[in-house]
A and B are shown apart, each in its own frame.
Chain A
Amino acid sequence: MKWVVSMLNGGERIEERDRHLIQLIKEAEKRAAERKWAEKDPIGSCFDSGNSCFNPETFKKDLRLAYFLQEVHPECRELIRGRFKTWPFTIIDKLFWKLLFGYLKPFFQRQTGFNVVSVRTLGQISCLLEEINSSQKNIGSETSQEIINEMKQEIENNKKKIASLEKLLGKETNPPGDKEDG
């Protein structure tokens, strides 16, 4: 027997005897409507704006930045994949994250003063720039494309670093396992 109630949007499918529990939801809704929530709540925009970098859903998507290189600089990903194509996927993944957080993140932070985790995919960089501008971080006249170009250049300039990182990881991790690259 199911007890399913649509509590927060009007109360449908309610069994008569559980009606008092529905009142709980109504009471909660009433209280929430009456309470003064801070306008400039750190996550106030979570619920009100799709444009905010603090929106929880977009925040999750921000993690797609982990795959930022794939968009910005696919060769880099291919370089890793090509070199280690017989390695298990997890190791590729690990390498990728090390690359991102060990190398790209400080660079990006240095360039923008903004935490890399809050950055979204390429097409949404403008949102980041707005956020940076609004928080009065001095980024000069750079556009998103300029930042991207710089990042590309930085990667090009630092292929040696990537190679040494590969070496480092090669020492840290086991040789190819029995699983195919996913």
Chain B
Amino acid sequence: MDRVKKVDQILPGLFFGDAVSNQALEIRRRLLKMGLKGDIFAKKIDKKLRGLGKPIRNFEPGKSDSVLFHFCLNMELAPLLKRAKKKVMVYHNITPPDYFYPFNLKFKLDLQKGVKELEKYSGFFDSALAFSDFSLEELKQKGYSKVFLAPFFISFDSLKAEPDEKTFNKIDNQNKNLIFVGRIAPHKKQEDIILSFFFYKKYLNPKSCLYLVGSYKGNEHYLFYLQKLIDKLDLEDVFFTGLVSDSELVAYYKSADLFLSMSEHEGFCVPLIEAMLFKIPIIAYEAGAVPETLGKGGVLVNKKDFRVIAELIDIVIEGKQIKEKIRDNQIEILKNYSAKENKEAFMSICKDIFGE
């Protein structure tokens, strides 16, 4: 660790509520504790996060000892790293492009380009970090040889906020409330959540609501499709919240009786851990890194039979013992994210990466 004094980070955008941005901020915090200074440079910076990041035009390649390059879409900014002593890619995974057809052709093309670039740049970086075995394996397949499984840093501080009163009062807690947190995007398969909820509400519990919490910016066509599906089903009590603040998110979590994920691609899936923090039983579809992240903290399904999933929702929500068992497991899982364990694992990786 003697020779590296400064570790800068580059990412496409520093946005509020964005998992990649949160991870970059957490990494900087950990590096600072280890005595490694560094700035975050981004092409776009959210107004709310100004002061935490610098515009990419201010990045001076020669002045950085080491650079962590966050990859989630493309390598547009990667050439800036050419003169850095250590070039490390932080892989956040890339969504299979086909999910975005026909909803967002532009994004599909961007993803296609990104997938190709990921492979092309395999020899460019000195090493790469990933946050799940799922992502790690993908990197290996793309030709990355020096890869590390890094601890995923989750700051629970934002979830310690008081629930937003207005939101909390708006939610009927006499109902059984199902929740999914994640942007409205085709690979997250919100339509399958809606279909499962349809059967649950119609046949098992009319007093139930579904909250789909997350931004739909850029995926308006997909949102339109979901709304049409809801119309077609003549289904009530499905709510799209859009992007929410921390305190609003806490209000939704605190009102939730069950977290349901039908996502078919996740590089990690932070909301699963967040749901565990709020002791919410989870039912999730087995895909991407979901089985790793969920562990024993919920029920994993590997087939989308919506009628069976509806029954399962009912069994879990009504089953006191089941919920207790799941909660016990969740407590165990959350220990993996304790600051101490993560710190040690991260330091060990940093030694491997930056140490001479």
Contacts and interface: CB of A to CB of B under 8 A. Distances in A.
Interface of A: 1-9, 18, 20-21, 24-25, 27-29, 31-32, 35, 37, 42-43, 46-47, 54, 56, 59-61, 63-64, 66-67, 88-90, 93, 97, 115, 117, 182
Interface string B19-40: 0000000000000000000000
Given A28-B311, A63-B225, 20 more contacts: A3-B294, A7-B300, A21-B322, A24-B312, A24-B315, A25-B301, A25-B308, A27-B311, A28-B308, A29-B311, A42-B234, A54-B232, A56-B229, A59-B228, A59-B229, A61-B102, A63-B103, A93-B104, A93-B105, A182-B110
A117 B102 CA distance: 13
A117 B228 contact: yes
A42 B110 CA distance: 37
Contacts of A29: 308, 311
Contact of B306 (A24, A42, A47, A63): A47
B127 to A, nearest CB: 25
Interface in B89-131: 102-106, 109-110
- The secondary-structure label for the interface of chain B is helix
Nearest to A3: B296
A162 B229 CA distance: 29
B307 interface: yes
A64 B102 contact: yes
A47 B325 CA distance: 33
20 contacts: A2-B292, A3-B296, A7-B303, A8-B303, A9-B302, A21-B299, A21-B325, A24-B315, A24-B319, A27-B311, A27-B315, A28-B309, A35-B203, A35-B307, A63-B102, A63-B103, A66-B102, A89-B109, A90-B106, A115-B228
B62 interface: no
A11 B229 CA distance: 32
B253 to A, nearest CB: 23
A24 B316 contact: yes
Interface centre among B106, B186, B221, B306 (most CB of A within 10 A): B106
Nearest to A43: B233
B291 interface: yes
Given A25-B312, A66-B221, A182 B232 contact: no
A99 to B, nearest CB: 14
Given A9-B303, A42-B234, A43-B198, A4 B109 contact: no
Contact of B308 (A8, A18, A182): A8
A3 B302 contact: no
Contact of A8 (B292, B295, B305, B315): B305
B195 interface: yes
